[in-house]
Amino acid sequence: MDLNSLESVRNFAKTYTGPVDVLVNNAATLGSGELRRTGDGFEECLQVNYLSGFLLTSLLLDRVEQSAAGRIVHVSAKAHEWANISVQAMVSEKVLGPDFVSRQGMMGNLGGSYADSKLAQILFSAALTRRLKPSAVSMSLHPAITQTELLRDVKDSAMVKFLQEQVLQRIGRVVGFMQTKEDAPKTQVHVATHPALQKAGGRYYSPIYPPLVGCGKAAEDCAVSEVSDAALDVSLQEDLFKVGRTFGDFVYNDNLFQWESRSSYTGRARPTPKTSLTSRLTRFLTSQFHSSIFAHLDLGTAPIETLQDRKFHKAITKMPRLEDVVFPQHGWAGQAERTKFLSALPPGASAWGRGRP
């Protein structure tokens, strides 16, 4: 799977048919600090470190929730504290932080788009936590700092690279903030597998606050770390989640629409009544922005009432990029209603029925 390509992520999700008990979004690039775009047009760190993981998680979410103890782990970084995310920039410029080039330092892009992508992972984990079924949890973490190839794209002088690779790393091991390659993966393994953490959804763990176990508290309370104020911003969590959902595929899930509304008093997200899900999905897909983006719609679990709605029919008729749609095979008011839905699809779009009576 190539995280530089959303199509590659989509193909992996289609071809992998096995169960998903644990999904760890770990792959990352530090980036060069310059504005490099993927074939999909997104800034490199945005897509590789965050958006492809967002898409993969969305496509595999049903299987994670079907697991007896599903778990999603986002490997973020302490660098998220240096991030400066703009949701508007993600929509209009396909970058997370429009000023990331100016935030370069001794460690290259560590405080630039890399930091932005790591904050995005924590925000995603928090938004996802509010939507997951009780059988599944989502958590994020700061991995141990160790010698990897993450700095391979840093364009520094030979002296700076020597300081990074030799002096800083050796000092780091002595004072404890760097670990050996053998010890470094322990945080990811702990967060991904320890049974007690199944009740720790939404938390952020870090080996900077050792130990992972045996800290004198319950296992799920060991190595819990604080995050930046931006990572705790519920409005930012929800806004970024909604924007991320508009790129690539759209896979309907009731839980995705449970936290859309805002309290006029606090400004915080609050649950959406079940009766509002149909109208909310219709408004989402009929907006001019969303209707022009999607090429693939998985509506296999969408409310039949929505799929029988005439406004919804008008919306999908005007989707220029729509290539295929998955829809529920059963539950229609009648054959005529099902036919109206299929007739509303743009010319050339494929339709696939799902489900048993």
Q: Are residues 228 and 284 in the same domain?
A: no
Tell me the C-alpha distance between 233 and 80, whole Å.
Answer: 13
Residue ranges in 130-212 assigned as alpha helix (H): 158-162, 169-175, 186-193
Tell me the C-alpha distance between 117 and 139, whole Å.
Answer: 16
**90: Cα within 13 Å, side-chain hemisphere:** 24
* Closest to 22 measured CA to CA, from 181, 144, 185, 188: 188
Total tally of structural domains belonging to the chain: 2
Considering the domain boundaries, does residue 24 fall inside one? yes
Specify the CATH number for the domain of residue 110. Answer: 3.40.50.720
Residue 347 neighbours by CB under 8 Å, 6+ apart: none
Considering the domain boundaries, does residue 244 fall inside one? no
Say what the pLDDT of residue 24 is: 96
Return the residue matching tokens 């509010």.
130
Contact between residue 144 and residue 207 where contact means Cβ atoms under 8 Å apart? yes
Q: Are residues 184 and 79 in the same domain?
A: yes
Q: Are residues 134 and 66 in the same domain?
A: yes
Considering the domain boundaries, does residue 266 fall inside one? no
Burial of 133 (0-12, 13-18, 19+ CB in 10 A): middle
Domain termination site, one of 205, 235, 265: 235
In the sheet with 324-328, reading across from the earlier edge strand, the strands are: 250-251, 296-298, 324-328, 350-354
Give me Rg for the CA atoms of the chain.
22
Q: Encoding tokens for residue 252?
A: 């309907």
Q: Are residues 59 and 140 in the same domain?
A: yes
Residue 310 neighbours by CB under 8 Å, 6+ apart: none
Considering the domain boundaries, does residue 70 fall inside one? yes
Q: Are residues 79 and 203 in the same domain?
A: yes
Considering the domain boundaries, does residue 260 fall inside one? no
Residue ranges in the chain assigned as alpha helix (H): 6-15, 44-45, 52-66, 87-92, 113-129, 158-162, 169-175, 186-193, 234-244, 277-286, 288-291, 304-307, 310-317, 335-343
Instruction: Check the CA dihedral 237-240-243-246 and report its sign.
Output: negative
Residue ranges in 130-223 assigned as alpha helix (H): 158-162, 169-175, 186-193
Considering the domain boundaries, does residue 262 fall inside one? no
Q: Are residues 31 and 168 in the same domain?
A: yes
Cβ count near 314 (within 10 Å): 12
Mapped onto helix, strand or coil, the DSSP state of residue 228 is coil
pTM > 0.85: yes or no: no
Say what the pLDDT of residue 231 is: 95
Residue 229 neighbours by CB under 8 Å, 6+ apart: none
Tens of each residue's pLDDT in the chain, 357 residues? 999 998 899 889 888 889 999 999 998 888 877 888 999 889 999 999 999 999 999 889 889 999 999 999 999 988 899 999 988 888 778 889 888 888 776 566 777 889 999 999 999 999 999 888 888 999 999 886 655 655 555 555 454 455 455 545 554 444 345 566 666 677 888 899 999 889 888 899 987 766 676 777 888 888 888 999 999 999 999 888 877 876 655 666 555 555 444 444 444 444 445 456 667 777 777 766 566 667 778 788 788 888 998 888 888 888 877 877 888 888 999 999 999 999 999 888 888 787 644
Q: Are residues 47 and 111 in the same domain?
A: yes
Q: Are residues 216 and 80 in the same domain?
A: yes
Domain termination site, one of 235, 254, 287: 235
Domain termination site, one of 235, 261, 286: 235
* Closest to 97 measured CA to CA, from 109, 26, 249, 4: 109
Q: Encoding tokens for residue 97?
A: 């932080």
Q: Are residues 219 and 282 in the same domain?
A: no
Q: Are residues 176 and 125 in the same domain?
A: yes
Say what the pLDDT of residue 7 is: 85
Tell me the C-alpha distance between 330 and 192, whole Å.
Answer: 37
Considering the domain boundaries, does residue 38 fall inside one? yes
Q: Are residues 189 and 283 in the same domain?
A: no
Q: Are residues 214 and 310 in the same domain?
A: no
> What is the span of the domain harbouring residue 314?
273-354
Mapped onto helix, strand or coil, the DSSP state of residue 97 is coil
Tell me the C-alpha distance between 238 and 259, whole Å.
Answer: 8
Considering the domain boundaries, does residue 300 fall inside one? yes
Burial of 8 (0-12, 13-18, 19+ CB in 10 A): middle
